[in-house]
Structure 1
Amino acid sequence: MNRFGTALLSLSMTLPAAGLAKADDYPSRPVSIVVPYPPGGAVDGVARVLAATLSVKTGKTFVVDNRAGGAGGVVGSSDVVKAAPDGYTLLLNASIHVVTPLINKNVPFDVVNDFTHISGIAAGPLLITTNPSDKANTLKEFFAEVKAAPDSYNFATSGYGSAGHLAVEVLKGEAGVDTEVVTYKGAGPALTDMIGGQVQLIADPILSSLPHVKAGRLKPLAVTSLTRSPLAPDVPTVAESGMPALEMLSWYGVWAPKNLDPKAAEYLGKVIQDVVTSTEFKDKLTVFGFEPMYKNSADLKAFVVDETQRYSKIVKTAGIKVE
């Protein structure tokens, strides 16, 4: 064989190895964690903790990419569905990811089958608050006021179909009131109107609500967990507030486009597990009122199926309209 033929043979033998080395180098560029909401809310906060901790632990670059577009996060989530399944575009969303298809007839994806389920990462209760000027100090007292003067009250939610929205609808049903729930595009504007007195009740993650409670701008009534939150130990649970027990957690997960590259799926599954089960991640989440909720790919998918069934019943019972 002449030297030209030998060179070709040598090149052909090295190409597969070079390709394998490149695949094994994932991620070789920044990984985008899409948050389908504006900066500043609970989903954004959890995403930034995850991205920062992943970057430190792996030495790779993970960045938060806010792609707000309304519609319960449908726009940003749709971007992820259409992205290349190479592991460089991920979605971080909350429980509203599962609820939105139940109340929005124009969702262009299936939350079970159109994503690769990567990991469950966090969960936390909601803080139910009212205005400091309100005389009620418990949920039971508050809803007694509402029943006595229903036209004087409006409730708020930071997102149609969010955990906070469902919690308020459940409470309305238990109290026997039909108060309007005003939908806002995010926690920021909802809490601004709460503080201003335009609306009188909201259930929102501790991350966004507690600072206003500590500053005296909002009055806490209850938390939507079965036990009190360590961050707000003086705030009773819904059951302790004189109403039937309610557990409504805001939970968070990571997804990728379906048919994710196996090497990327394996890498992400391992490093996210390492982060979510780490002391550093737990400590950072605790400040926000959340706890780690690790679920592997199969467990997250099963959890999504179960939560879909649970939320379907709540939507039907509460008469939440499909938009």
Structure 2
Amino acid sequence: MKPFIRYLAGLLACAATMAASAQAYPQRPVRVIVPYPPGGTVDAVARVFADSLGHQLGQTFVVENRAGASGSIGSEAVARAPADGYTLLVNASTFAAGPWLLKSLPYDIHKDFTPITNLGEVPLLVTANPGVPAKDLKAFIALAHQAPGKYFFGASAAGSASHLAEAAISYEAKADIPVVLYKGTGPALTDLMGGHISAVIDAVPSSLPPVKAGRTKALAVTSAQRLPSLPDVPTVAESGLQGFEMVSWYGLWGPAGLPADVVARLHDAVRKAIDSPRVKQTLSEQAFVGKGSSPPAFADYVRAESAKYGRLVKAANITVE
């Protein structure tokens, strides 16, 4: 019996160590890398959750913006970081589309990261600068048909939900609307408000404030239903592209090999954040729907989304220079 007793004692000690580790994490500040400049929706979402996780877990979660190369610079930094839970990534739909658009990614999105959870999703808003003579998307598409190549979309990054939605609309509408790629939502919206580009399709949290301030105008929303906050703005489907629907989603990852107890602790904290009245109110005001899916479910979702984007990239012949 002695070998069995030693074996059982070893199992109990291992379980105790794992439990202690879960309770101990985090013991120092955690870096949350956003691979885009400040001012965009990914940055805003990361800051809301970083603040909540910091309060729950008793350590500072510091958001660090590391922009460049359509999000691959910041993402690579996480892929190469120690798998200890102190370097995390908040990214969006662009992460799943990247392999189809960027020829030499320095990482594999499925092998080099640990999926933790889907933070949530938001619809996109099609907005134009006030100088564009169109009151809605249907009229904007008509302008593009009348003057091919004259009107430009601006996208937050190559492969972003912004870029894919713009390419899909141009493809389905059979309209020549070139896309200018930026290094983040902030620069794209700045050029839109300055009249340098015609329109931008981006997530509601970043697109809505300029609309409310009168610096841009809303043409359409990409969700299946109109938004309560913009009841007079039609959906893309209502604008002549039947069945069109696209959302921008946001997730939390760590480096590959992240310990299961750390993953579980972070996932639990995100779930509590989503359910907290303060976070729920902040996010609902931006039409953000929290998810908090399990790590395995999130991994499956990322694979399915990546395959979907691959089909769209091929059908619409979307390319990145």
Question: Under a length normalisation based on structure 1, what TM-score does the superposition of the two structures give?
Answer: 0.90
Partner of 1:244: 242
Matches within 5 A, 1:107-256: 107-256=105-254
Which structure is larger by alpha-carbon Rg, 1 or 2?
A: 1
Partner of 1:7: none
Structure 2 residues not aligned, in runs of 5+: 1-15
Q: Distance in 2 between matches of 1:276 and 1:180?
A: 38
Structure 1 residues not aligned, in runs of 5+: 1-16
Shift of 1:265: 1.8
Shift of 1:201: 1.6
Partner of 1:4: none
Question: Under a length normalisation based on structure 2, what TM-score does the superposition of the two structures give?
Answer: 0.90
Identity between Structure 1 and Structure 2 (%): 47
Partner of 1:54: 53
Q: Distance in 2 between matches of 1:309 and 1:221?
A: 29
Partner of 1:294: 292
Q: Secondary structure at the match of 2:285?
A: helix
Structure 1 168/322 Cα, relative in aligned 2: closer, same or farther at 3 Å?
closer
Shift of 1:230: 2.7
Q: Distance in 2 between matches of 1:18 and 1:307?
A: 37
Q: Distance in 1 between matches of 2:76 and 2:24?
A: 27
Q: Is it true that 1:39 corresponds to 2:76 in the alignment?
A: no
Choose from 255, 258, 268 the match for 1:257: 255
Which AA in structure 2 matches 1:246? Answer: F
Q: Secondary structure at the match of 1:294?
A: coil
Aligned 8 A contact 2:223 2:247 in 1: yes
Shift of 1:287: 2.7
Aligned 8 A contact 1:24 1:263 in 2: no
Aligned 8 A contact 1:81 1:257 in 2: yes
Structure 1 198/268 Cα, relative in aligned 2: closer, same or farther at 3 Å?
same
Shift of 1:58: 3.0
Which AA in structure 1 matches 2:317? Answer: G
Partner of 1:67: 66
Q: Distance in 2 between matches of 1:308 and 1:293?
A: 18
Shift of 1:72: 1.6
Which AA in structure 2 matches 1:29? Answer: R
Choose from 293, 305, 308 the match for 1:307: 305
Shift of 1:61: 2.2
